Amino acid sequence: MKSSKHFLSINDLDPEEFLEILSSAKKFKGNRRNHERTLREQVGGIITTKPSLRTRLSFEIGLLELGAQALFIRNEEIGLGERESYADIIRVLERYVDILIVRTHDHNGLIEMVKHANSSINIINALTSEEHPCQALADFLTLKENFNEFKNLKLTYIGDGNNVCHSLMLASSLLQVEFTAITPPGYEPQLKYINLATQNSKKLSGKEPQITNDIQKALEADILYTDVWVSMGESSAQKSQSAFENYKINEALLKNKNIPVLHCLPAHKDQEISEGIFEKNAKLIFDQAENRLHAQKALMLHLYFIR
């Protein structure tokens, strides 16, 4: 057991912990309100330096459903890493709150927080420029609901080798899903994450992640996944949108093949995914959004028992 009391990366879990969280999430989904309020009298703080619909609300509602108080901390007031350092902010907040959920561009800022947290607080990554591990939990819950087995399932991500791609690649390596990232040249996932996922796969006898620029490989997948071309905090000027033109999930790519498609949302229809393909997969995509709530409740409970 890794038993990490913080959740900065999906790699903070081992496969058993990951599977336990998924089965606890499934139970929460089947019994949304009539369960034990295990986190009563606890306070969960949420800070986001970027916009959010799903993440903020699913955490706030999840905390309330577990009996805790949710406290939204406005970054305009605290100025994470600007008005005050990550190290000092956590040394204050750990004296007030039991769980801290943070969305920030700066992944190292979160690592800094973990380094300086002395008390029993749980710190959760709600998206950084490098990872979006809570999204991957919900995505794997969605996969579990739709496929019999993770082993040998072919999950193919198309688009920017970004935070969402990194977390999906790591999650796949832990649960022996066959992962392929199809990106435009120059937009491949970071080597650090490819190496981590490859190490996991070797240890767990899964297939190593495949990274390619060949969009036609999409047709070999059991399930496809895409995300925006330009992530929050990036300027579209920095990125050549024309590089992504041949990496759209649309009718021309899929022809008549019925491959389901996931999307973490928000979506840009007719950029990374066509309106038609999005609507065809709407049930699955909005299940993913709902599953954020159930998966994060299970995660918070898991971390609480380690604390």
Question: What residue ranges bind ligand CP (CB under 6 A)?
Answer: 52-55, 127, 135, 264-265
Residue 85 near which of ligand NVA, ligand CP, none (CB within 5-8 Å, type-dependent):
none
Residue of 90, 102, 134, 228 that binds ligand NVA (CB under 6 A): 228
DSSP 52: -
Which residue, 98 or 272, has its beta carbon nearer to ligand NVA?
Answer: 272
The residues, any chain, with a CB within 8 Å of residue 181's CB and separated by 6 or more, are: 156, 157, 161, 165, 169, 188, 189, 209, 210, 211, 212
DSSP 15: H
**Catalytic residue selected from 6, 105, 107, 132:** 132
Residue 123 near which of ligand NVA, ligand CP, none (CB within 5-8 Å, type-dependent):
none
Residue 219 near which of ligand CP, ligand NVA, none (CB within 5-8 Å, type-dependent):
none
Residue 139 near which of ligand NVA, ligand CP, none (CB within 5-8 Å, type-dependent):
none
Distance in Å, CB of 107 to ligand NVA, minimum: 12
Active site residue 264: yes
Active site residue 103: yes
The C-alpha torsion from 4 through 133 and 209 to 176, rounded to 10°, is 60
Please name which of 127, 74, 59 lies closest in space to residue 303, comparing C-alpha atoms: 59
Residue of 12, 131, 139, 227 that binds ligand NVA (CB under 6 A): 227
Residue 70, phi then psi, degrees to nearest 5: -105, 130
Question: b/e per residue, 252-289, with b = 16+ CB within 10 A?
Answer: ebbeeeebbbbbbbebeeebbbbeebbebbeebbebbb
Distance in Å, CB of 202 to ligand NVA, minimum: 27
Active site residue 292: yes
The rounded distance, in Å, linking the Cα atoms of 18 and 20 is 5
Residue 231 near which of ligand NVA, ligand CP, none (CB within 5-8 Å, type-dependent):
ligand NVA
Three-point CA angle 111, 161, 231, nearest 5°:
75
Which residue, 6 or 166, has its beta carbon nearer to ligand NVA?
Answer: 166
Whether the link from the prior residue into 266 is cis, omega within 30° of 0, is: yes
How many residues of this chain bind ligand NVA (CB under 6 A)?
Answer: 10
Active site residue 107: no
> How many angstroms from the chain centroid is the CA of residue 277?
22
Question: What is the footprint of ligand NVA within residues 115-174 (CB under 6 A)?
Answer: 127, 132, 162-164
Active site residue 132: yes
Q: What SS3 string covers 213-226?
A: CCHHHHHHCCEEEE
Specify the stretch interacting with ligand NVA by CB under 6 A; choose among 138-146, 227-235, 252-260, 268-276: 227-235
> Residue 156 pairs with which residues in a beta bridge?
180, 224
The rounded distance, in Å, linking the Cα atoms of 38 and 51 is 29
Binding mask 231-270 for ligand NVA (x = CB under 6 A): xx-------------------------------x------
The residues, any chain, with a CB within 8 Å of residue 238's CB and separated by 6 or more, are: none
Which residue, 56 or 132, has its beta carbon nearer to ligand NVA?
Answer: 132
Distance in Å, CB of 286 to ligand CP, minimum: 12
Residue 53 near which of ligand NVA, ligand CP, none (CB within 5-8 Å, type-dependent):
ligand CP
Which residues are catalytic, by number?
A: 103, 132, 135, 227, 264, 292
Binding interface with ligand NVA (CB under 6 A): 127, 132, 162-164, 227-228, 231-232, 264
